Amino acid sequence: MATKTYLQAINEALRQEMERDSNVLIFGEDVGQFGGCFGVTQGLFDRFGEDRVRDTPITESAIVGAATGAAAAGLRPVAELMFVDFIGVALDQLFNQAAKMRYMFGGKAKIPMVLRMPQGAGVGAAAQHSQSLEAWFMHVPGLKVAIPATPYDAKGLLISAIRDDNPVIFLEHKMLYGTEGEVPDEEYTIDFGKAKVVKEGEDLTIVATSQMVLTALEAAEQLAKDGINAEVVDPRTLSPLDMDTILTSVEKTHALLIAHEAVKTAGPGAEIAARVAEDAFDQLDAPIVRVGAPFTPVPFSPPLEQAFIPGVEQIVKAAKKMRE
């Protein structure tokens, strides 16, 4: 397999699906000739033209509303918001329309739309352009939520998202765009609701999402030096959430640490922890521990921003404390 960046994998998935299905179209701010704020849609305007790769006004409500209407009418739109932070402008279109229409029409309507949104801190974009908001979308019935950590998963999950007949939230961490991994040239899909055991271990389960998967793997290497063999599990999708894989891991290791960049308060780790406590409490030898960002806006100051983002040291410290 060829080595490709996370960004290239997403771009390839978009191109291949647009070649396969003429109903797939892309729109959003600067996704056309400019190629997207982060370059993800580079080259697609030249390949498919302005009828299928369209720039929009800076109006998130219009972008999400148009995607919902286009999907209901039979197209398969892939809409992009430049930053996940702007979703607040379009919450009614997403939460009350896209997420509810199939249910309210008795299953007769399909809403095959994908909403791609970069999120996460690390690029000095400050409080209004750096949040991790995946927990918001997990809370809404009718939405599927994908949060890939690797180029391979990014391509496979995006192809699955585009082919799905339900609205999918596709979250891309900005700091992952330049990361590399092996990605097949051909099309492939990854099923939603299927977690991946990234590293096997027997002393501790670390469930991590998005960029924190890479951080967790680094932490696992350090823990191994101290004789702690950690297992790292990447859910890959948060709705549906593969609790079977997580519970199987916890039953083996008898300890659970959850790591995500979203703020710890009411973050995705809270849901995972609650479900494990409900279904596998007797399997735990120690309290469940969550590692997440502090309950504060993302700072602009580079040193403060780095202090905000959970790191290897925090995971290692938390894991060692669990073993005491």
Query: What's the token pair of residue 37?
Result: 């704020």
Confidence bin at 323 (pLDDT 50/70/90):
confident
Residue 324 has pLDDT above 80, yes or no: no
Report phi then psi at 70, rounded to 5: -65, -40
Q: Where are the beta strands (DSSP E) in the chain?
A: 2-5, 24-28, 53-55, 76-80, 114-119, 144-146, 168-173, 180-183, 196-199, 204-208, 230-234, 237-239, 256-263, 289-293
pTM confidence score? 0.97
Tell me 92's DSSP state: I
What is the tens place of the pLDDT at every residue in 70-89? Answer: 999 999 999 999 999 999 99
What is the tens place of the pLDDT at every residue in 204-244? Answer: 999 999 999 999 999 999 999 999 999 999 999 999 999 99
Cite the active site residues.
129
Q: Tell me the domain boundaries of the chain.
A: 2-183, 196-322
* 223 Rama class: left (phi>0) / alpha (psi -120 to 50) / beta: alpha
* CATH code given to domain 196-322: 3.40.50.920
Using an 8 Å Cβ cutoff, are 198 and 249 in contact? no
Domain 2-183 CATH class label: alpha beta
What is the tens place of the pLDDT at every residue in 18-48? Answer: 999 999 999 999 999 999 999 999 999 999 9
Asked if the domains 2-183 and 196-322 are classified in one and the same CATH topology, the answer is yes
Using an 8 Å Cβ cutoff, are 20 and 187 in contact? yes
Query: What's the token pair of residue 15?
Result: 């191109």
> 31 Cβ partners below 8 Å, 6+ apart?
41, 44, 45, 53, 54, 55, 80
Alpha carbons within 13 A on the beta-carbon side of 264:
14
Q: How many CB atoms lie under 10 A from the CB of residue 22? A: 11
pLDDT of the residue at 68 = 98
Rounded distance between C-alpha atoms, residue 225 and residue 120, angstroms: 30
The sign one gets for the Cα dihedral 55, 59, 62, 68 is: positive
